Chains A and B, each alone.
Chain A
Amino acid sequence: MFYCEKCGIHVSGSGKRCPLCQGELAGTPEEDAYPVIEEARTPYGLIIRMALFLTVAALAVCIAINYCFPESGWWFLFVAAGLASVWLVIGIALSKRRNPLKAIVWLLAVVSVLLLVWDWRTGSRGWSINFVLPILIPCMQIAVVATAWALHLRASDYLLSLGISLFAGFFPLIPLLCQWLWMVYPSVICVSFSVILLAALVLFQGSALKAELIRRTHI
Chain B
Amino acid sequence: MKNRTNKNVPSWWTLDNAAKIFPSTGSSHDSKVFRFVCELQEEVSPPLLQKALDKTIERFPMYRSVMKRGWFWYYLEDSTLPAKIREEDSPPCCPIYPSIRRSLLFRVLYYRKRISLEVYHALTDGTGALNFLCTLVYEYLLLRHPDEFPKPFPALPYDASQSQRQTDSFQKYYEKPARRLPGSSPAAYQLKGERLPRNHLAILEGRMPLEDILACARAKGATLTELMAAVFLLALQEGMRVRDRKKPVVITIPVNLRNYFPSESARNFFATINVGYDFGKGDGSLESVLAEVKRSFQANLTEERMREQMNTLCALEHSIPLRLVPLPIKDIVLRIANWLTSRGITASFSNIGRVSMPEEMNRHIHLFNVFTSAGMLQACACSFHGQYIVSFASPFRSCETERIFFRKLSQMGIDVILTTNLPSESEVN
Pairwise interchain contact B72-A12, C-beta atoms closer than 8 A = no
Pairwise interchain contact A216-B70, C-beta atoms closer than 8 A = yes
Using known A-B contacts A19-B204, A20-B399, A20-B407, determine if residue A13 contacts B428 with beta carbons closer than 8 Å: no
Interface size class of chain B, counting residues whose CB lies under 8 Å from the partner chain: 35 or more
A45 CB-CB contact with B under 8 Å? no
> A205 — which chain B residues lie within 8 A by C-beta?
8
> B57 — which chain A residues lie within 8 A by C-beta?
none
- Give the total number of A-B pairs whose CB atoms are below 8 A apart: 131
> B71 — which chain A residues lie within 8 A by C-beta?
216-217
A84 CB-CB contact with B under 8 Å? no
A1-38 contacts to B (CB < 8 Å): 1, 7-17, 19-22, 31-38
> How distant is the Cα of A15 from the Cα of B204 in the complex, in angstroms?
13
Give the residue name and chain of the B residue nearest to A11 (CB).
B418
Pairwise interchain contact A17-B80, C-beta atoms closer than 8 A = no
> A7 — which chain B residues lie within 8 A by C-beta?
403, 406-407, 410
> How distant is the Cα of A29 from the Cα of B68 in the complex, in angstroms?
46
Which of B87-95, B120-128, B338-346 participates in binding chain A? B87-95
> How distant is the Cα of A17 from the Cα of B100 in the complex, in angstroms?
41
Which of B9-17, B135-143, B162-170 participates in binding chain A? B9-17
> A155 — which chain B residues lie within 8 A by C-beta?
7-9
Pairwise interchain contact A215-B7, C-beta atoms closer than 8 A = no
> B99 — which chain A residues lie within 8 A by C-beta?
98
B111 CB-CB contact with A under 8 Å? yes
Q: Taking the nearest CB of chain A, how far is it from the CB of B405, in angstroms?
A: 9
Which of A11, A20, A211, A218 has the most CB atoms of chain B within a 10 A radius of its CB?
A20
Using known A-B contacts A10-B418, A20-B406, determine if residue A99 contacts B100 with beta carbons closer than 8 Å: yes
Pairwise interchain contact B203-A35, C-beta atoms closer than 8 A = no
Pairwise interchain contact B419-A215, C-beta atoms closer than 8 A = no
B54 CB-CB contact with A under 8 Å? no
A207 CB-CB contact with B under 8 Å? yes
Given B402, B411, B423, which contacts A8 in the complex, CB threshold below 8 Å? B411
> A218 — which chain B residues lie within 8 A by C-beta?
14, 70, 72-73, 75
Q: Taking the nearest CB of chain B, how far is it from the CB of A205, in angstroms?
A: 7
Q: Taking the nearest CB of chain B, how far is it from the CB of A203, in angstroms?
A: 14
Give me the 10 closest cross-chain CB pairs, A-B, nearest first.
Answer: A34-B421, A8-B410, A20-B403, A15-B424, A98-B101, A208-B8, A10-B417, A219-B323, A155-B8, A19-B420
A interface list, Cβ under 8 A from B: 1, 7-17, 19-22, 31-40, 98-99, 154-157, 205, 207-208, 211, 215-219
In the assembled complex, 9 residue pairs joining A and B whose CB atoms fall closer than 8 Å, in A order, are A16-B424, A17-B425, A19-B428, A20-B418, A22-B426, A98-B102, A154-B7, A215-B75, A219-B320
